[in-house]
Amino acid sequence: MIPEKHRISKDFFEEINKNGKGLSSPFLSIKYLKNNENISLFSTVVSKKVSKISPKRNLIKRRINSILNKHKNDIKQGYFVVFYAKPGALDRTFDQIKHETLDLLNKSGLLR
């Protein structure tokens, strides 16, 4: 789980979706927006389109959040970052999700 001090509150989602930049890969997409703080905040969204069964959605969230927690020191500070899982993400292994997550962060320029 992402620590509470590193989570995005629901108040910022509309602004991120409206003004944020986005990138996409086959099973994940990312939206990010510069914030005025010296800390990066994260969120992971897995809709019911991915799976109607909540434990399966939570598995994807846990995997992405685990990757973010492990690499949070490698991510530039001062951004809102939202990951969206796409249908088919459930069929991916942890290593495949890790590769796509880090690849999206690298392409967006958020990795140091």
| 86-110 pLDDT, tens digit each | 998 999 999 999 999 999 999 999 9
Report the SS3 class of residue 50: coil
Give Cβ neighbours of residue 21 (< 8 Å, ≥ 6 apart).
31, 32, 33, 108
- E strand map for the chain: 21-24, 28-34, 41-45, 79-85
* CA distance linking residue 16 with residue 94, whole number of Å: 27
Question: Looking at residues 21-25, what average pLDDT do you find?
Answer: 94
Q: Do the Cβ atoms of 11 and 92 come closer than 8 Å?
A: no
Per residue in 32-75, pLDDT tens?
A: 999 988 889 999 999 999 999 999 999 999 999 999 999 988 99
Reported pTM: 0.90
What is residue 73's predicted lDDT score, i.e. its pLDDT? 87
* CA distance linking residue 66 with residue 43, whole number of Å: 12
What is residue 34's predicted lDDT score, i.e. its pLDDT? 93
Compute the C-alpha angle 107/62/39, nearest 5°: 55
What is residue 6's predicted lDDT score, i.e. its pLDDT? 84
